[in-house]
Amino acid sequence: MIATGRTVTVRVPATTANLGPGFDTLGLALALYDELTVTVRDQPGASVEVHGVGEGEVPTDETNLVVRSIAHTFAAYGQEMPGLDLVARNVIPHGRGLGSSGAAIASGVVAAQALLEGVVEIDGLGLLARATELEGHPDNVAPALFGGLTIAWTTPEGPRYKKLNVHRGVSPLVLVPGHTMSTALARSLQPESVPHADAIFNVSRSTLLIASLIQSPELLFEATEDKLHQSYRASAMPETDALIRALRAAGYPAVVSGAGPSILVLCSDPAQRKGATELVERTAATPWQSLVLAVDIKGATVVLHPDDVTQP
């Protein structure tokens, strides 16, 4: 039985997936955070109070994605979800390719893990499995849960991940437009098969990308080349495509962030990031918000009130 009044606060980072050639495999956690506080109450059901991004737009009842993630996790371990009051303080942009849905799911499963502590023990692979069941693929939820650079894959036994530490010189820049992009639409533009040469090209670039991110940032421009997904989606994101072309023509390693329409520039040092920011300010035909972000290394963190601190 979970005591009424038990409260947990979860902090989850934004993520950027694919990173160019690592389609549905590579993800990176960024230091931009949504925060969720969950309190157990006497009455059944759930209510959600939303502040910031999504306020007045996302559901505030049991249909909310965070609530559904908590309920899914409780059900997966044969537990009945208690009544809950949730307060969400959101900063991660919605519908921009920065993992907002993955962050919501991650915050829900981690909150459930914390609430169930002492009743059911859920390890990291359990969290990843529950989150992937909801998200459909692990490339965004893995870095949201564990931080850093993650390689995610699936096995008959469930999803797996490997977390890697990113070279301190890597300096991410995220460019966020005013419009959104549907992940479902972006995925619908992908062909069922790709040329053999393109597949080989991306295998070489994705392996080079891992080496570049953890050891050799000077190779990031070549390492972020892609032939599997970005060109197929370009027609649905003309402003994104145009700005990526302009950045890459000037030597900056720019890629689509997740399903877009945001752009990730994986700069090799802060000076290069400053140059990319100035290029966007000079040449972009439409407004873009520039976010100078660090790589998050912790992933989701939990505070068990009043003073116990844990991490998945």
97 is in an annotated binding site: yes
148 is in an annotated binding site: no
Cβ atoms of residues 96 and 264 within 8 Å: no
Give 174's contacts (C-beta < 8 A, 6+ positions apart).
16, 30, 98, 257, 262, 263, 264, 265, 290, 291, 293
Cβ density class 173-190: b for 16+ within 10 Å, e for less: bbbbbeeebebeebeeee
Answer positive or negative: Cα dihedral of 198, 199, 203, 209.
Answer: positive
Cβ atoms of residues 279 and 247 within 8 Å: yes
93 is in an annotated binding site: yes
96 is in an annotated binding site: yes
Distance between CA atoms of residues 104 and 142, nearest Å: 13
Give 242's contacts (C-beta < 8 A, 6+ positions apart).
285
95 is in an annotated binding site: yes
171 is in an annotated binding site: no
Helices 124-135 and 100-115: crossing angle in degrees, nearest 10, is 140
Token look-up 């918000």 returns 289
Task: For residue 231, give Cα distances in angstroms to 21, 99, 167, 237.
Answer: 12, 21, 28, 10
101 is in an annotated binding site: yes
282 is in an annotated binding site: no
Nearest to 173 by CA among 275, 52, 53: 275
Give the annotated binding-site residues: 93-103
Provide the annotated binding site for ATP: 93-103
